[in-house]
Amino acid sequence: MPLSLATAPWGLLAGSMAIEANLTPLQGQGLSSIVFAGAAQLVAIGMLKGGAGVFSILLTTLLLTSQHLLYGMSMRSVISPLPGRWRIGLGFLLTDELFALTSQHDRQQFNRWYALGVGLTFYIAWNLFTLAGIVLGSSIPGLEHLGLDFSIAATFIALITPVVRNVPTVVCVAVSLFCSVLFSYWQWGSALVLSGLAGMTAGFVCNKLYRERT
Amino acid sequence: MIWAVIFGMGILVFLNRYVFLEPRLPVRLSSNARQFLGFAVPGMLTAICGPIVFMPDKQLNLQWDNPYLLSSLVAIGLVLYTRNTLLSMLLSMAVFFLLRWWL
Give pLDDT, residue A133: 87
**Phi, psi (degrees; rounded to nearest 5) at A25:** -55, -40
Chain B residues 16-55 with a CB less than 8 Å from chain A: 16-23, 27, 29, 32-55
User: pLDDT at position B42, please?
Assistant: 85
Instruction: Using the Cα atoms of residue A169, residue A1, residue A15 and residue A66 in order, give the sign of their dihedral.
Output: positive
Residue B77 near chain A (CB below 8 Å): no
Instruction: Give chain A's count of helices (H) and strands (E).
Output: 11, 0
Q: pLDDT tens across A69-124, in order?
A: 888 888 888 888 888 899 999 999 998 888 888 877 777 788 889 999 999 999 99
Task: Quote the CA–CA distance of B88 and B78 in Å, as a whole number.
Answer: 5
Backbone phi, psi, residue A68, to 5° = -65, -25
Alpha-carbon distance of A142 to A20, in angstroms, equals 9
Q: A174-212 pLDDT, tens per residue?
A: 999 999 999 888 887 667 778 888 998 999 999 999 887
pLDDT digits (tens, 9 = 90+) for A47-73: 787 676 787 778 778 766 777 888 888
Residue A2 has pLDDT above 80, yes or no: no
Whether residue B4 is predicted with pLDDT greater than 80 in this model: the reply is: yes
Q: pLDDT tens digits, residue range A141-163?
A: 666 666 667 877 888 888 889 88
| Residue among A126, A114, A122 at smallest CA distance from A93 | A122
Grade residue A1 by pLDDT with cuts at 50, 70 and 90.
low
DSSP 8-state secondary structure symbol assigned to residue A146 = G
- CB of B57 less than 8 A from some CB of A: no
